[in-house]
Amino acid sequence: MALNDIKSTDKVLDMCTGSGVIAITVNLKTGANVTAVDVSLEALNIAKLNAEKLGANVEFINSDKFESVQGKFDIILSNPPYVNKNDMLILQKEIKLEPSLALYGGEDGLDFYRYFASVCHNYLTEKGIIIMECGINQASEIKLLFENEGKYSKVEIIKDINGIERFVKVVL
């Protein structure tokens, strides 16, 4: 979905990159200038290896959210931690293999989105776009977080191929 909005001239930020799959794919498919950010050095090392193996040109930054990020971006993408406290207790065993840092989004799963809504406008170019994945039944609350900030011109919820509200797209 994000690839439809990205041009080769865009500056793209992938926040919470993990293994780098989104950042690498965006760079390889569009040729856009991509920066990938993660708080985990271990995840960034894996992402760097993946980029090297696939021949992607991605800049990697170790940062807690925007702490070490500079500049503005045309597109910000993120698949942040969004699992709430109760769901962390009942995760499938395969998902429990993932680091909790990559999964746990606070008591209600929305900690990252609250932060993002309050600061993202500082990192977007005029008419910049944010596309974020979210958990089931979170999209409406995330949409409200961004609308209540009053800094964004459009906030929409997008369904995945199964008809589940899975993404929130925001325009500055």
Q: What is the pLDDT of residue 95?
A: 64
Q: What is the pLDDT of residue 11?
A: 98
Find tokens 């509200």 and name the residue. 165
Tell whether 13 and 79 lie within a shared domain. Answer: yes
Tell whether 102 and 151 lie within a shared domain. Answer: no
Cβ 172 vs Cβ 126: under 8 Å: yes
From CA 73, how far away is CA 124, in angstroms rounded? Answer: 5
Q: What is the pLDDT of residue 90?
A: 63
Q: What is the pLDDT of residue 137?
A: 87
Tell whether 76 and 150 lie within a shared domain. Answer: no
Q: What is the pLDDT of residue 47?
A: 97
pTM as predicted: 0.90
Domain for residue 120, yes or no?
no
pLDDT beneath 50: ranges in the chain: 88, 104
The count of structural domains within the chain is 2
Range of the domain at 6: 1-106
Q: What is the pLDDT of residue 104?
A: 47
Cβ-based neighbours of 68, under 8 Å, separated by 6 or more: 37, 61, 62
Render pLDDT for 65-107 as a digit per residue (tens, 0 to 9).
999 999 999 999 998 866 556 664 565 666 665 665 655 456 7
